[in-house]
Structure 1
């Protein structure tokens, strides 16, 4: 197959942990051709098809992620219609901002022209990562979504220990904990909601975070058998790896599987082939759909090849569409 990955700049990849790199490497091992572009490279002109200026690359499958040698070589770029690829894999990291939104519209147009996009453009647009949990309140902790400072104060008065976070953050950025004393609650609300101009999410603090914020990967509607528990370090409340959390792979629990099997098939049917569920204790806190990660950490610690499972599913879904 000829595969196009829409992603962040290739030069920014940290190959020792990057899941998109793991996907590309596994696809290369199977003889698939790899091209890459960034969302800014997407292009459409009336009378034509959605295209992109793409980089055709060869991935070094024996690349040492801790060495200094480049992990890919490339041939000259070309302007290519997305529909000419066998699959387009959308792997742009958050934030889900206006440019990401516009990119999904261009990808949607490409789908109408025959492109096979994973995850599907409309499904990405309809499931923003923080708000996607609203469909599944039976699995979530007490949660509030609002612009109103008074609503946040009332939520804090009820639950006493809360987490506040922006809707467009990633990697744990902008997350605050406010305990029973309410210290700095007003300043935090002002920072996150910008005097009522921006919506934020508030959740009851879950003390189980000390055992990790688990990332449960679901591919083709089925959870893989291991999660990555991201454990806060050094007094941090955030377990995100980008915020210094320690990643520990563990077999998924019965509760993890229950949540995944309730959500996974439903979202897979909508075109979300790959999702990442964030679970603290027994509660679902987020559903990641843009570029779920943790492939390599799970594979390195357990031997379960997540990238192989992903490419298996990609091949099957391309054949089925």
Structure 2
């Protein structure tokens, strides 16, 4: 046991458990960026599904329009309504990245007024591009075919197209929002919850000692004994090093018990994992032999601390069964 009067020369600080946690970054959205960069990875699958469904709806609508015309007594004409539908669908597919970009920007902000403003701006931009692109495509195709196209530009026509575009935006944007939400949920758990739990688990297995302004990390399995020395406690390690730090033996006992380091005497703790032998005395006292070759005396007051060792030593069955298995 080290002399207390030399404690100031060796160390003058108390034991320290590292409770600092690694800071975690905020969960970032799955994809951010501008323009076509808003579509990446699995988004292309969703984009393809939207395109396929839109084309299917366009074909069904064209067939329905041709059938309705025939029921009214007109000539069954599938090509004309198909052209009107496809010109609109192709334009929707072309300007759909506007919705991808808007949804991702909306997820970047937390205030609902800003999200609502972005949604309104996206719908207006989408509808404007859709109407302009659809009309331009129809005019170009009709011109090449030797005909003309009149959009009948008016407020009523714009409202007619705009209300359909609103529903298209809600369907595509809403589906993308839900997909991103489901994708972000497990990512949030893995980035936030799991690292915190892992950090707490790792911290629970660490023992840090404060030596002045320095921090010393030790492995619990390397501790052999801990003895009291006045206002200090002395850690005796397996490599013969010692650490003298300010503290009480009771405080060390309370936090090191989970590492199988227990009190065997009023002035000493022992790591039971390093015990190789136990010798019981007639008066209840006992002696522990350690793997370092030391013999440590224990008081009968703390005989319960080595009860697990005595129980194992009293039952030779595991050893016998092991030997039998080897034969």
The verdict on a shared fold, with TM-score over 0.5 as the criterion, is no
Q: In proportion to residue count, which structure has more strand? A: 1
TM-score, structure 1 normalization: 0.21
Q: In proportion to residue count, which structure has more helix? A: 2
TM-score, structure 2 normalization: 0.20
Larger Rg: 2
